[in-house]
Amino acid sequence: MKNNIPLRNPLTYILLFVLFGISVSFSQENQNCTLVGTWADGPCYTAYLQNEIVLLANGAFLEIVDISDPANPVELSKYQTSSFIYSLTVEENYAYIANQNVGLLILDITDLSDPVEVGFVEIAGFYSQVAFHRDYIYFTTNATISMRIIDVSNPEEPAEVSSLEVYSRSKMTFQGDYMYLAARYEGFQVYSIADPIHPVLIAEIDSIYCSHIDVNGDYAYVSVYDSLMILDITTPADPIQVGVIYPNFSSFNTCIVEGNTA
């Protein structure tokens, strides 16, 4: 299983606008969405989709659901963790789960009907975010040392190898040797992670409030209050603003880019 964008799917995807370069077009057809199915009745802050299987955080439970028939989801398994699940990601046959104020939980999901815990790293803090890149987990919380970098080349023996002080609740995305951060009140930041044990800040725009980010090719798409800022990151150390879009609503906190659609 491999997908770095949570819940990217036409059944659960709200289309905001269509980008061709930096131009925008709106379609009445694209703005009309129809609910075809629902699942779970608890608090859900994250989900992860791969093909026709979705891993869904339902409070402290991880639910694995088959949505091949979207109108009739089928639960394959339900795994109880020790705390509220705020973020999760999947790489190959492993699920990496951020348990609030507990830490990183690693589950082997080779058998979707029977997830098995194989690893754990204790990490305090709330509003946890977890991301995978090149055998490392990047785990953020609201703690003083807000980012932990964990080697999971062997998921059964995870090892914290470095840490970084970033703004709590920062959103992360990765491309090549670079990590791009939506660091909220500290703005937009770019780190070189060619050496994951020694990340280096190489660029920042600290004059904006940046709540979310996605990267596609040579461009970064940054949620900034009531607008979407588009940055040319051909040279990651020198991001250049090339466009800005003001949607027909007051603010938004998330941006996901797929091809020419954001």
Strand partners, 220: 215, 231
Element (H, E) at 28: helix 28-31
Supply the pLDDT for residue 4.
Answer: 37
Q: Are 155 and 168 in contact (CB under 8 A)?
A: no
Q: What are 65-103's pLDDT values in tens digits?
A: 999 998 899 999 999 999 999 999 999 999 999 998 999
pTM: 0.82
| pLDDT tier for residue 131 given thresholds of 50, 70 and 90 | very high
Q: What are 154-181's pLDDT values in tens digits?
A: 999 999 999 998 877 788 999 999 999 9
**116-122 β-sheet, strand order:** 85-91, 94-99, 103-108, 116-122
Domain topology for 35-165? Methylamine Dehydrogenase; Chain H (2.130.10)
Instruction: Tally Cβ neighbours within 10 Å of residue 25.
Output: 9
